[in-house]
């Protein structure tokens, strides 16, 4: 099973690798946005899809990665910058996770949202205090092609990690936590440790994506890189696509990025309305997301908590 | 005399102002079959939660195989050989029967040696329970009675020394209850486990066990052989008397 999924990932990566040679700049930047959400939604689903701990913290990890990039780009080689973004996000997720992962449901979701705001304000304050500025202009940035291939590597790594985690004992433990956390613990799962590791692993890819995308924007400021919309859209994409599946979030990330671009140009406000309607439809009628349409699953995990 | 598999000493569990379990002692020796009875709200399940590490006792000590596990999380108890079931079966709805049993083997069971061939892998455990032909069904497709069997299977997969069964007879038909009582005995006789069985329905439990503990308002009211305990006037008054008196004594 993992071999087939890994082959599919490899095929997808090869196809995406050809894009800069075949398409014009506008379409390549569209593909870049697809890749960003593939990385974000896949890594989100890796932890939150399995455990059903809905995290709104993606923007915190993404923004931290972006700032690591802004701080270190001129001093460090590019791969180290991206890896640094991943590492800082993972360490932060591990610390924050240790403090809040004992809470479930709405409490966890609200706290992860609060966590993103906290990081944003802390960085704003720190930058004002010590650097005397809020935004940073990145002057010498890698070429667009380098950025594209870096993000492709990040997305491929997220997908590969997702496949391997699902086939591993860690993935089984995360599934058990999602199904019944106490039961999993009484069967020997060190739930606290598993949750922190899963949360940190998931955050590392968002951090790497943030570090990569920062150079694309050339101007980094807290409002842009800690934009809560990035976190919300990641959750929407993963849920609409089917957070329990591998292919669902990938498909939804591509559809949404294209849809977003099209609607933003043609009807700016309609995009958010479409997004909201799709989420409602997905939660009510497609519990396994778009992925549920082709795997034909019928039960409703997101709503099970409310049934007797 | 060998050390008990599990020793609970002076266990107190308090929730705010309510004392659910009040200084209860229990020593579980190898291959014993102990029953715990008591009216609703006597603290039976809370006591089990303390024994399995799901609730940290307010006071008291829990020693498993010579190691003090007081205040340790539940997975440490599972790895030390304490397995349990829940009052309402808590199976992993989306996993198949075989996957659910494998779960226990992959976690707590991985840390423990299979002392009996019947606990070595998924097929022997399913055969022991008579669930072999249901292996590929999703857990949610089983009847409640068979979900209960599956829960016992998940617990057995952790390769325990002590099996804590929380009202495994509740809601079953008379025939199913008899089968369950037989299965509980087989867990002791064939698998060599110590079994502690909580049941609200006394009639089911008393004939099956060797020693009974009666909990009432969080305290141990009586303890001993089933025949002796049922003749204890304090037990009749607090537990049985309540039933008999309520049904027949008053108009």
CATH number at residue B10: 3.40.50.300
Look at residue A101 and give its three-state secondary structure.
Answer: coil
* Span A115-124, average pLDDT: 94
β partners of residue B18 = B15
Interface with B, mutate which of A174, A188, A296 (most B CBs under 10 A): A188
Query: Please, which residues 127-166 of chain B have a Cβ atom closer than 8 Å to chain A?
Result: 140, 154-155, 157-158
* Span A174-196, average pLDDT: 97
Structural domain spans, chain A: 2-227
Q: Is the pLDDT of residue A308 over 80?
A: no
Predicted local distance difference test score (pLDDT) of residue B242: 54
Report the b/e string of A85-120 with b at 16+ CB within 10 A.
bbbbbbebbbebbeebbeeeeeebbebbbebbeebb
Is the CB of residue A79 less than 8 Å from the CB of residue A87?
A: no
Domain encompassing residue B11: 6-17+34-249
Percent of chain A with pLDDT over 70: 95
Is the CB of residue B80 less than 8 Å from the CB of residue B69?
A: yes
User: Which range has the worst mean pLDDT, A194-208, B52-66, B94-108, B169-183?
Assistant: B169-183
Residue A154: φ, ψ to 5°: -65, -45
* Span A171-176, average pLDDT: 96
Write the pLDDT tens digit of every residue in A71-101.
Answer: 999 999 999 999 999 999 999 999 999 999 9
Q: Establish if B107 touches chain A: CB-CB under 8 angstroms.
A: yes
The DSSP secondary-structure symbol of B96 reads B
- Quote the ipTM score: 0.92
Task: Indicate whether B23 belongs to any domain.
Answer: no
Predicted local distance difference test score (pLDDT) of residue A1: 62
Contact state of B109 with A299 under an 8 Å Cβ cutoff: no
Q: Establish if B182 touches chain A: CB-CB under 8 angstroms.
A: no
Query: Please, which residues 38-77 of chain B have a Cβ atom closer than 8 Å to chain A?
Result: 52-54, 73-75, 77
Distance from CA of B244 to the nearest CA of A (A): 33
Q: Tally A–B CB contacts below 8 A.
A: 70
Distance from CA of A169 to the nearest CA of B (A): 7
Predicted local distance difference test score (pLDDT) of residue B241: 54
Which of chain A's residues have a Cβ under 8 Å away from the Cβ of B107? 169, 173, 184, 187-189
Distance from CA of B94 to the nearest CA of A (A): 8
Q: Establish if B231 touches chain A: CB-CB under 8 angstroms.
A: no
Percent of chain B with pLDDT over 90: 73
Q: Is the pLDDT of residue B189 over 90?
A: yes
Task: Indicate whether B22 belongs to any domain.
Answer: no
Predicted local distance difference test score (pLDDT) of residue B244: 38
Q: Both tokens of residue A253?
A: 């990330």
Q: How many domains does chain B have?
A: 1
Predicted local distance difference test score (pLDDT) of residue B81: 95
Helices (H), chain A: 2-22, 25-44, 50-51, 58-72, 78-100, 105-126, 144-167, 169-186, 191-217, 222-225, 228-241, 247-266, 270-285, 289-295, 301-304
Predicted local distance difference test score (pLDDT) of residue A260: 84
* Mean pLDDT of the residues in chain A: 90
If pLDDT is split at 50, 70 and 90, which confidence band does B59 have?
A: very high
Burial class (CB within 10 angstroms; exposed 0-12, middle 13-18, buried 19+) of A263 = middle
Task: Indicate whether B28 belongs to any domain.
Answer: no
Neighbours of B33 (CB within 10 A): 19
Q: Both tokens of residue A78?
A: 């590019």
Write the pLDDT tens digit of every residue in A245-304.
Answer: 899 999 999 998 998 888 878 877 787 788 788 878 877 887 777 777 776 544 444 444
Report the b/e string of A59-79 with b at 16+ CB within 10 A.
bbbbbbbbbbbbbbbeeeebe
Predicted local distance difference test score (pLDDT) of residue A91: 98
Write the pLDDT tens digit of every residue in B126-185.
Answer: 999 999 999 999 999 999 999 999 999 999 999 999 999 999 998 888 899 999 999 999
Task: Indicate whether B146 belongs to any domain.
Answer: yes
């Amino acid at each position: 099973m993992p071999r087939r999924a890994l082959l599919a990932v490899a095929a997808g990566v090869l196809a995406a690798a050809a894009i800069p040679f075949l398409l014009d700049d506008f379409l390549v930047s569209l593909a870049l946005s697809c890749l960003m959400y593939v990385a974000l939604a896949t890594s989100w689903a890796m932890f939150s899809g399995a455990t059903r701990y809905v995290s709104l913290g993606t923007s915190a990890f993404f923004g931290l990665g972006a700032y690591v990039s802004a701080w270190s780009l001129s001093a460090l080689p590019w791969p180290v910058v991206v890896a640094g973004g991943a590492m800082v996000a993972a360490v932060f997720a591990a610390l924050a996770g240790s403090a809040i992962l004992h809470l479930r449901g709405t409490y966890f979701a609200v706290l992860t949202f609060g966590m993103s705001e906290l990081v944003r304000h802390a960085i704003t304050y720190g930058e004002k205090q010590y650097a005397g500025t809020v935004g940073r202009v990145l002057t010498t940035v890698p070429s667009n092609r380098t950025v594209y291939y870096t993000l492709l590597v990040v997305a491929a790594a997220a997908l590969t990690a997702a496949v391997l985690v699902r086939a591993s004992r860690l993935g089984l433990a995360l599934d058990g936590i999602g199904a019944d956390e106490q039961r999993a613990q009484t069967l020997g799962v060190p739930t606290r440790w598993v949750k922190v590791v899963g949360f940190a692993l998931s955050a590392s890819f968002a951090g790497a994506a943030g570090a990569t995308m920062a150079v694309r924007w050339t101007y980094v400021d807290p409002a842009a890189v800690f934009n809560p919309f990035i976190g919300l859209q990641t959750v929407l994409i993963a849920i609409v696509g089917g957070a329990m599946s591998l292919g669902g979030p990938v498909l939804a990330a591509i559809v949404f990025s294209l849809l977003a671009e099209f609607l933003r140009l043609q009807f700016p406000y309609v995009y958010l309305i479409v997004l909201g309607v799709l989420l409602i439809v997905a939660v009510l009628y497609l519990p396994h997301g778009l992925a549920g349409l082709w795997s034909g699953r019928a039960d409703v995990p997101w709503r099970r908590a409310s049934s007797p | 005399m060998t050390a008990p598999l599990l020793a609970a000493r002076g266990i107190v569990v308090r929730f705010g102002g309510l004392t659910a379990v009040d200084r209860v002692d229990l020593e579980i020796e190898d291959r014993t079959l102990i029953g715990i009875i008591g009216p609703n709200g006597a603290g039976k399940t809370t006591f089990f939660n303390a024994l399995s590490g799901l609730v940290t006792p307010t006071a008291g000590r829990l020693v498993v195989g010579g190691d003090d596990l007081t205040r340790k999380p539940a997975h440490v108890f599972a790895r030390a050989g304490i397995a349990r079931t829940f009052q309402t079966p808590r199976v992993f709805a989306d996993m198949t029967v075989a996957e659910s049993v494998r779960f226990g083997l992959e976690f707590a069971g991985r840390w423990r040696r299979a002392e009996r061939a019947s606990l070595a892998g998924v097929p022997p455990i399913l055969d022991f329970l008579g669930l072999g032909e249901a292996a590929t069904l999703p857990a949610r497709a089983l009847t409640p009675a068979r979900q209960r069997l599956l829960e016992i299977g998940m617990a057995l997969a952790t390769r325990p020394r002590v099996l804590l069964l929380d009202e495994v007879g509740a809601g079953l038909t008379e025939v199913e209850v008899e089968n369950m009582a037989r299965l509980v005995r087989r867990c002791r006789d064939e698998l060599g486990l110590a079994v502690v069985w909580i049941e609200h329905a006394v009639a089911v439990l008393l004939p099956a066990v060797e020693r009974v503990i009666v909990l009432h308002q969080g305290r141990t009211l009586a303890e001993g052989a089933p025949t002796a305990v049922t003749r204890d006037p304090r037990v009749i008054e607090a537990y049985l008397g309540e039933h008999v008196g309520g049904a027949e004594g008053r108009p």
